[in-house]
Amino acid sequence: MLENKNILIGITGGIAAYKICNLIRLYKKSGANVRVVVTPNALNFVTKLTLQTLSGNEVYVDNFEIDEYKPEHIALTESDIFVIAPASANTIGKLTNGICDNLLLSTACAFARPILIVPAMNENMWNNKFVQENMTKLKTAGYEVLEPASGFLACGVNGIGRMREVEDIFEKTVAMFSQKQILKGKKILITAGGTREKIDPVRYITNSSSGKMGIALADNAYKMGADVTLISTFGVEKPYRNIVTPTALEMEKAVKENLSAKDCVIMSAAVSDYRVENVSEQKIKKQGGELNLKLVENPDILKEICQERINLASHQEAVAPLEGEMSKGQRGVNIKPYVVVGFCAESENLIENAKAKIQKKGCDYLIANDISRKDIGFNSNENEVYIIDKSLNIKHIEKDTKENIAKRILEEIFE
């Protein structure tokens, strides 16, 4: 699986360091060339000789320990992947601040290929505000992270912070190598979250969408090489473009303004079908008895962009005979047959309703999910979906994490 891949392992000072001996064996068995760089503290937990024997290569500790100075950190960056495991809170903190006071850190700083961080530490350290902020920074910057598991920790307590099993690290490495860049060169617009329609300055109408499904789609599309624009009802810190639109009207405007030159639009946001006609400028006082709010219909963004596509196509047909008279730069301006993917949230008759909805909306694919279930759909970490195409063919994707479901959806549509 990893034949001829050059894997660089970075070991920092933590008790889980001893487990990396088995990881080296797994990598070697599957055909990889393994090199190891350690922090000086890592050698308190595992010996240089053991790592050298298992990897079959010299183990790197310090830039300055050798007689003739060579910039080892630059040579080490020629590896295909850098797996830092266990990654201590100290190394994570330095990494996120660009500190390079040992060979492992200088190598990570200069490393331009994928880096996988596998943290391991005491539960309180893991939950520490600054450590969590650093983890967010790493993810935002595009580092892959294999989050720690819960279990018995070396400090004698049960809790989160345990380094993931070496088999998980191995599988994650394989998955990173097999990540196909199927969306390279594609521009994708994705919506996420539940819109919030104001009633007055303190109250609003919304739904239970957490945005997790849409963000998982955006993250995966980005990893697959796409140029991603995420339009969401709340802000996220990501390495791709993010436009925040709390209401349906704001989302409609942003989607239309950013539609030009897109290859695909995925509407996973839960857009409110109605908004309050007259939003009160002041907080509505309790008056006793009923409160009547008049709701008016919001635009159906998905339906509108599908209609816009039909208009563009007929415009294209109309201008085609004139193309000979146009200058090269004028031809086909803003006219692009983007793929439209809608979502469908149903609490009953999922497939029947989804089939009717794809025809009504006019999109190419509709992703149907059952929102009556507590374990999937709204605000859960998992989902189970049916992909329905224009010819009403159905593909079932079984329950999985939203990250994996998003990956499968993109693969099904684009491969």
Round to whole Å and give the CA distance between 301 and 184: 27
Nearer to ligand PMT, 22 or 379 (CB): 379
Inter-residue contact 11 to 87 (CB < 8 Å): no
CB closer to ligand PMT, 138 vs 340: 340
Q: How far apart are CA 64 and CA 55, in angstroms?
A: 22
| Catalytic choice (21, 100, 109, 155) | 155
Shortest Cβ distance from residue 192 to ligand PMT (Å)? 6
Single-letter amino acid code for the residue at 55? S
CB of 277 to ligand PMT, least distance (A): 16
- Three-state DSSP at 403 gives helix
Least distance CB 393 / ligand PMT (angstroms):
19
Spatial CA neighbour of 409 closest among 399, 401, 398, 397: 397
**Where does this chain bind ligand PMT (CB under 6 A)?**
209-213, 248, 267-271, 273, 298, 300-302, 342-345, 369, 371, 377-379
Angle between helices 129-140 and 89-96 (to 10 degrees): 50
Q: Nearest 5°: phi and psi at 56?
A: 75, 15
Distance CA 367, CA 387 (A): 5
Task: Report in angstroms how near the CB of residue 65 gets to ligand PMT at its nearest.
Answer: 50
155 is catalytic: yes
Of 239, 74, 266, whose CA–CA distance to 141 is shortest? 239
Nearer to ligand PMT, 41 or 207 (CB): 207
Task: Please state the closest distance from residue 258 (CB atom) to ligand PMT, in A.
Answer: 14
Radius of gyration (C-alpha) of the chain in whole angstroms: 26
Q: Which residues are catalytic?
A: 155
